[in-house]
Amino acid sequence: MSRYRGPRVKIIRRLGALPGLTSKTFKSKSSYIDRSTSNKKVSQYRIRLEEKQKLRFHYGLTEHQLLKYVRIARKAKGSTGQVLLQLLEMRLDNTIFRLGMSTTIPGARQLVNHRHISVNNDTVDIPSYNCEPGDIITIRNKQKSQSIITKNLNLFQKLKIPSHLTFDSTQLQGSVNQMVNREWVNLKINELLVVEYYSRQV
């Protein structure tokens, strides 16, 4: 299944706020669900499916990519759900988004693909690059790169940067201080339901 490129408001109307997909919000998600399911019993499968879809659309993943991350999380030590969120949060495109360099994760992915970003002074053009503590994320020394990031930062001035990251606005440089903790994830989701959804596929 390919990455979603359709109307974003349609998705958040169905699933709720997805800050990585779009900064837009839809206030009446609950009333929408009440109207659509008032005469139906919501199945456990649908509940798990919607949680999985939240994760997929927020981080901008294909079905194949998300399944791959679930399999990696299964093999790691610790809670599978929390390891899964940690893997997704430490992706380079998400890290750029959380630093405020981009207003959405798709926008951050584009910055990486267009070679505007360097990690530890090496240009990285792979959005799924796994960031680690000690990594320094900078903007390539190009006027176009800097103007794009500065514009995004001005739009995202009120963003609260999570504790595992720091950003130097004077040098336009971000750094990864430590691995992300569960409470710093800015998505309302029950990751255990996602793991349960994939339990028969992993």
Closest CA to 59 of 92, 95, 20: 20
Q: How far is CA 44 from CA 38, 49, 132, 193, in A?
A: 16, 8, 36, 9
| Phi and psi based region of residue 25 (left: phi greater than 0; alpha: psi -120 to 50; beta: remaining) | beta
Q: Mind listing the pLDDT tens digit of every residue in the chain (202 residues)?
A: 456 556 666 666 777 777 766 665 555 444 344 444 445 677 889 999 999 999 998 999 999 999 999 999 999 998 999 999 999 999 999 999 999 888 889 989 999 999 999 999 999 999 999 999 999 999 887 777 777 777 777 766 656 789 999 998 888 899 999 999 988 988 889 999 999 999 876 5
Q: What pLDDT shows up at residue 150?
A: 79
Of 202, 188, 198, nearest in space to 49 by CA: 198
> What region, left, alpha or beta, does residue 16 occupy, with left being phi > 0 and alpha being psi -120 to 50 degrees?
left
The predicted pLDDT at position 202 comes to: 57
Return d(Cα 37, Cα 57) in angstroms, integer: 22
Where do the domains of the chain lie, and which CATH numbers do they carry? 8-87+187-197 (1.10.1050.10), 91-179 (3.10.290.10)
Encode burial over 61-75: b for 16+ CB neighbours within 10 A, e otherwise.
beeebbbebbeebee
pLDDT of amino acid 33: 43
For residues 198 and 183, what is the distance between their CA atoms, to the nearest angstrom?
23
What are the start-end ranges of the H helices in the chain?
8-15, 29-37, 44-59, 63-75, 80-89, 92-99, 105-113, 143-155, 191-197
| pLDDT at residue 169, rounded to an integer | 81
Q: How far is residue 191's CA from residue 133's CA, in Å, rounded to a whole number?
A: 23
Backbone angles phi, psi at 63, to 5 degrees: -60, -40
Contacts of 160 (CB under 8 A, 6+ apart): none
Q: What is the pLDDT of residue 156?
A: 63
Q: Which position has the token pair 């998400």? A: 94
CA distances from 27 to 10, 13, 194 (A): 13, 8, 24
Question: How high is the pLDDT of residue 40?
Answer: 64
Q: How far apart are CA 70 and CA 85, in angstroms?
A: 9
At 57-77, the pLDDT tens digits run 899 999 999 999 999 999 999
pLDDT at 42: 77
Say what the pLDDT of residue 64 is: 93
